């Protein structure tokens, strides 16, 4: 727990690109009123990017600057943080961590449809196959707050959102003064 005076929890939703983090985060934010922080967009807005990675065709994140920019927001509570990395965020920021997982054939099609090719496509599929993000989360956070959720289709995303909403209600009851 990061601040016992918070009235709402902080949630990390992570996983390989293409597993449905942004869709689930948006739906969850709409249902709960918690603020959704899409870390990739936030990093652009707050100029937390370094040079461009030609191999992966994306800018490189300045993690220290990003964490400085997010610190005050996270202390307020009530945040849904959506990002494909998990291990550099401070453990104290989150009350619960959800790692979304998707079947590799479904993920392959989603990433290909996004224009991923070559090494970027292969590495992201490998990341999912080898449960890289799940392992990162398990190493970075207390075991009891890390949960794996299957995210192959809209029905599963809806079920996951409903489960998380129930968890939020219990968190609020458990953390009342």
Q: In what order do the strands lie in the sheet with 96-101?
A: 35-38, 79-83, 11-14, 96-101, 146-150
Query: Is 114 labeled as ligand-binding?
Result: yes
Residue closest to 99 by CA, chosen among 129, 63, 138, 61? 138
Instruction: Report whether 31 contacts 76 (CB < 8 A).
Output: no
Distance CA 43, CA 56 (A): 17
Would you say 6 is a known binding-site residue?
no
Report the alpha-carbon distance of residue 85 to residue 82 in Å, rounded.
9
Say whether 119 counts as a known binding-site residue: no
49 DSSP assignment: E
Q: Tokens representing 82?
A: 């959506």
Report whether 151 contacts 19 (CB < 8 A). yes
CA 162 vs. chain centroid, Å, equals 17
Q: Say if residue 20 carries a ligand binding annotation.
A: yes
Q: Is 21 annotated as a binding residue?
A: yes
Point out the annotated binding site for ATP: 18, 20-22, 114
Point out the annotated binding site: 18, 20-22, 114
């Amino acid at each position: 727990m990061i601040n016992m005076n918070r009235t709402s929890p902080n949630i990390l939703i992570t996983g390989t690109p293409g597993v449905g983090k942004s869709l689930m985060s948006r739906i969850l934010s709409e249902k709960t009123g918690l603020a959704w922080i899409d870390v990739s967009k936030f990093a652009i807005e707050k100029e937390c990017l370094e040079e461009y990675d030609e191999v992966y065709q994306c800018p490189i994140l300045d993690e220290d600057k990003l964490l400085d920019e997010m610190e005050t927001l996270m202390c307020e509570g009530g945040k849904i943080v959506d990002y494909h990395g998990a291990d550099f965020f401070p453990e104290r920021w989150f009350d619960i961590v959800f790692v979304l997982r998707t079947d590799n054939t479904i993920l392959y099609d989603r990433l290909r449809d996004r224009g991923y090719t070559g090494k970027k496509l292969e590495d992201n599929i490998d990341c999912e196959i080898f449960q890289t993000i799940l392992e990162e989360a398990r190493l970075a956070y207390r075991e009891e707050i890390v949960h794996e959720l299957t995210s192959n289709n809209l029905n599963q995303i809806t079920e996951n959102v409903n489960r998380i909403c129930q968890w939020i209600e219990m968190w609020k009851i458990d953390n009342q003064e």
